[in-house]
Amino acid sequence: MDLHSIENYLRPPNLEAVQDWEQGWAWLAGGTWLFSESQPQLNTLVDLELFGWSEIEFDGEQLAIGAGCTLAQLVNYPWAAEWKAVAALKSAIAALAASYGSCHGAFKCYLRNLESDGT
């Protein structure tokens, strides 16, 4: 989905640099839903990419997936072989990515490989 009302794209270096939040602004993160439907109320996207936040953390007991995690990072993470739900996660990501029709180049390659090898 194209966001035709966006007039500004901001890439602050950290959270502290975001001052005076205004109506019409939205956070843009790795797995954002913003592009899933029209957002006519928005005029500014504030990208979290430069914040340096961890995308995926696993401490042996707890899994945390950060706001900056992209779909490609989820797909390419070295998941433990015994995690049976990973196949379903990858399938869901492929379906989601196909639903928007526009993906990062590396992720498109993953989708092509997924289709060809049946994983």
Q: What is the pLDDT of residue 119?
A: 45
Q: What is the pLDDT of residue 113?
A: 52
Q: What is the pLDDT of residue 1?
A: 55
Please state, in angstroms and rounded to a whole number, the distance separating the CA atoms of residues 56 and 77: 8
Q: What is the pLDDT of residue 21?
A: 95
Residue whose structure tokens are 């092509």:
112
72-98 exposure pattern, b = at least 16 Cβ within 10 A, e = fewer: bbbbeeebeeeeeeeeeebeebbeebe
| Consecutive 10-residue averages of pLDDT for the chain (119 residues) | 83 93 90 77 91 85 85 88 90 80 48 48
